[in-house]
């Protein structure tokens, strides 16, 4: 004798499928976030030890208006991955500065142990190229580490 609709044969009203219609929405949301924040790297990062400073501030300037000038511990100068002699900085930077409509900001990315003589020479080159706005790139220093120094 069988019971109608009883026992094992009763079907659950819940769907046996995982709802995946919103998955694409989530993925696209993340996608759009990364598309907006992505900046394709302009130049290779040189291997330097960053100096630290507590007064470090963000530079609110368009990416295109920032020129990185690297100064490695060996005293080599790099602009856009090109190794340069100190004397070549002015002739290279001057046209870039003129092209940027005088908005260019030069970010000096120097190793912390570099003798100041080289940093001064670099500043003189930039001055001669007419660059006025310069940033010494630093890492933000926390108060805790400062107290221990």
Partner 1 sequence: MAVLQKKSKVSDEIPSSSMADIAFLLLIFFLVTTVFPKDKGLAIVLPEPNAEEQEINPKNLMFFLVQPNGQIDVKRGESEQIQVITAQQVEGVWRTDFAQNANLIAVVQTHPESAYRHMINVLDALQSAGADKISLQVQELN
Taking the CA atoms of residue 128, residue 130, residue 133 and residue 135 in that order, the dihedral angle to the nearest 10 degrees is: -30
Q: Which of 79, 92, 104, 126 binds partner 1 (CB under 8 A)?
A: 126
d(CA 85, CA 78): 9
Per CB under 8 A, 98 contacts partner 1: no
30, burial (CB in 10 Å: exposed 0-12, middle 13-18, buried 19+): exposed
Q: Single out the segment in contact with partner 1 by CB under 8 A; choices: 6-14, 19-27, 77-85, 96-104.
A: 19-27
Per CB under 8 A, 103 contacts partner 1: no
Of 123, 148, 149, whose CA–CA distance to 136 is shortest?
A: 123
Residues in touch with partner 1 (CB under 8 A): 20-21, 23-24, 27-28, 30-31, 34-35, 37-41, 51-59, 61, 63, 66, 105, 107-108, 110-117, 119-120, 123, 126-128, 130-141, 146, 149
């Amino acid at each position: 004798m069988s019971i109608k609709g009883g026992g094992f044969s009763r079907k659950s009203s819940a769907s046996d499928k995982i709802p995946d219609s919103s998955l694409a929405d989530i993925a696209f949301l993340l996608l759009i976030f990364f598309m907006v924040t992505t900046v394709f790297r302009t130049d290779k990062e040189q291997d330097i030890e960053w100096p630290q400073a507590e007064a470090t501030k963000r530079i609110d300037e368009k990416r295109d208006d920032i020129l990185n000038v690297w100064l490695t511990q060996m005293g080599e100068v790099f602009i856009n991955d090109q190794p340069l002699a100190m004397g070549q900085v002015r002739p290279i930077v001057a046209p870039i500065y003129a092209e940027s409509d005088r908005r260019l900001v030069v970010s000096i990315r120097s190793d912390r142990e570099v003798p100041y003589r080289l940093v001064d020479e670099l500043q003189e080159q930039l001055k001669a190229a007419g660059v006025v706005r310069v940033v010494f790139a630093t890492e933000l220093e926390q108060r805790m580490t400062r107290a221990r120094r």
